[in-house]
Chain A
Amino acid sequence: MTKLLFRAAIAMGFVGAIAIGQWNLSNQPLFGAEEGSRAPDPEVTKIAATGFDTIVSTWYWMKAVQFVGGEKSPTGLGDRVGDLIDVVTTLDPYVGHPYRFAAVWMKDDEQTVRHANRILRRGIEHHPDDWRNSFFLAFNHFFYLGENEVAADVLEPAMDMSNPPTYLPPLIARLRNQGGSLDAAAAFLNQVIEATPEGELRDAYIDSLLEIEAERRARFLDEARAEFVERHRRDIERVEELVEVSPPVLRELPPEPNGEGWELDDMNRIVSSHYRFRYEIKIDGTNRRLIDAFRARSEARRQLEMEEEGTSDDA
């Protein structure tokens, strides 16, 4: 009887120890920002996977999802997300969503965005018919890095991919314009119009071409306005002043391509009364603040790295 009680006590001791351990473990966060986001070297992981690449990739994908969706905000931890997605896409480059996931969550600073761009380029390589990766890559180049021409170059091949959205050609034209060349934007759209059969879509592209023409004329008016300011030491209050003033800066205003007129917008810029904005990709105040914060973070990181390099050189 004593022996039995002794055994029961030992058994209960073990059960208790296990229960306490389990209770303690179950109260710990599964994927804390620090623990959950650690990713091994992708090439080493590929070797270690010994043929089970896809399932290891899936495992790290689930870790990335849990990490981003965890309690702690992943903002500022884009590099870690990038490392996880690097493992995911190195082991299984044919995954689809993880590429866009990287693009969405890796936006802390320039270095992180460039890392995301490398991942997106891998996505484009393995999904040559999916326009979405090109779109995200172009967005990163345009929005965060200010590389409008590169963005247009990245986006242009996406037009030949499977089911691209109809707004791509006008968007590429705007990017070309923003990259500095209105002529390049017009030439591109003309090319697209030529290749598009008659119909609503073609009419929409022709309308975009009219927008470019309106922009060209608005720029002409900008030059006239500059001359007005130089002559009269004041700015215009109405666009018509350019012809009404004596002597007139312009004999007549160029016709608005849609048969309407010209006016000054909220930002005091000359715009077509038909479109009411200039031919560019508009970035509103909130987004402008986002870009400014992004640039500040990028600069801070650059400074920090330079300081660290200096310290290591000294050492």
Chain B
Amino acid sequence: MTGLRLIQTIALNTVRDAVRSRVLYVLLFFSLVMIASSVTLAAFSYVERERIIQDIALSSIRFFGAAIAIFVGVGLIHREVERRTIYTILSKPVSRAQFLVGKYVGLVATLWMQLAIMAVGYFVICHFNGAQLDHRDAIAVGLIAVELSVVVAFATLFSSFATPFLAASYSIGLYMVGHLTRDLRSMGENSESELIGTLTLWLERLLPDLSAFNRVMEAIHDLPIPPVEAGAALLHGIGWTVAFLSIAAWTFERRDFR
């Protein structure tokens, strides 16, 4: 079996395993409920109801997408170790890196399927409530997909060396900081302390900028999304995914399962 074929097999198994996860369905159910309830919540405002529907629905997709990515991602390796299936798999001619990448690809594929279901819910709700849909909504959903693959990558990294609880904590922390780096830098620039300015600047340079994937504002207000920025976000996502997976593979190679 070639390396790619091995990864594909592990990924398919991961998808089969993931779709049996109850957490996944619970979160998916809540996300769909949230998307549907955006219509009710929008009734609290006497104006801009279409915008509110789009806002609540897209934010729900982002929130529940990230929640699924983190909570399912952190258990990725741990479940295999707990069930001791990892020994069987690794005794085959499969490298640890191939196993990890296979697991990652499987989870991302599962997440993208969930995202597709949520996106259909979003488009249906918007369509029946008169909210205008165009390419910006598609780009926003597409960039959520990229963001989720980065989130799964760092959740995989943390799950490669930490317990699920710790990995979830680290992942949530990084997700939050990743969305704040721009704001923190802007605050740092306005700060009188040079140290804070430098610190926030390096924080932005060294951490993934997850706000680059957040185009909800543009989608709901019909603002332009420059193709260069969308392209840069895509490259940013691919870059960080490769980086996180490489570190995860390196850590996983050195992990002692005894």
Contacts and interface: CB of A to CB of B under 8 A. Distances in A.
A95 B216 CA distance: 13
Interface in A55-113: 55, 58, 61-62, 65-66, 92, 94-97
Interface in A1-59: 43, 46-47, 50-55, 58
B223 interface: yes
A50 B62 contact: no
B48 A96 contact: yes
Contacts of B48: 95-97
A61 B183 contact: no
Interface stretch (B7-15, B51-59, B73-81): B51-59
B210 to A, nearest CB: 7
Contacts of B210: 51
Contacts of A50: 175-176, 179-180
A61 B46 CA distance: 11
Interface string B212-224: 0010110011010
A103 B59 CA distance: 29
Nearest to B147: A51
A65 B59 contact: no
Contact of B55 (A43, A58, A66): A58
Contacts of A52: 59, 62-63
Contact of B216 (A46, A54, A61, A97): A54
B217 A53 contact: yes
A62 B43 CA distance: 9
- Classify the interface of chain B: helix, strand, loop or mixed: helix
Contacts of B221: 94-95
B45 A55 contact: no
Q: For the side of the interface on B, what is the size category?
A: 20 to 34
Nearest to A49: B179
Contacts of B199: none
A280 B184 CA distance: 51
Contacts of A94: 217, 221, 223
A50 B221 CA distance: 20
Given A62-B45, A65-B46, A55 B56 contact: yes
B133 interface: no
Interface in B147-168: none
Q: Which of A43, A47, A54 has the most CB of B within 10 A?
A: A54
Nearest to B210: A51
A94 B45 CA distance: 17
A50 B214 CA distance: 11
B211 interface: yes
Contacts of A95: 48, 51, 221
B47 interface: yes
Contacts of A92: 217
Given A46-B183, A96-B48, A58 B63 contact: no
14 contacts: A50-B180, A51-B214, A55-B55, A55-B56, A58-B52, A61-B45, A62-B41, A62-B45, A65-B46, A94-B217, A94-B221, A94-B223, A95-B221, A97-B47
**Pairs of residues from A and B, 6 with the lowest C-beta to C-beta distance, nearest first:** A51-B179, A55-B59, A94-B221, A62-B44, A97-B47, A50-B176
Given A52-B62, A55-B59, A65-B44, 18 more contacts: A47-B183, A47-B184, A47-B187, A50-B176, A51-B180, A51-B210, A53-B217, A54-B216, A54-B217, A55-B55, A58-B52, A58-B55, A61-B52, A62-B41, A62-B45, A62-B52, A66-B44, A96-B48
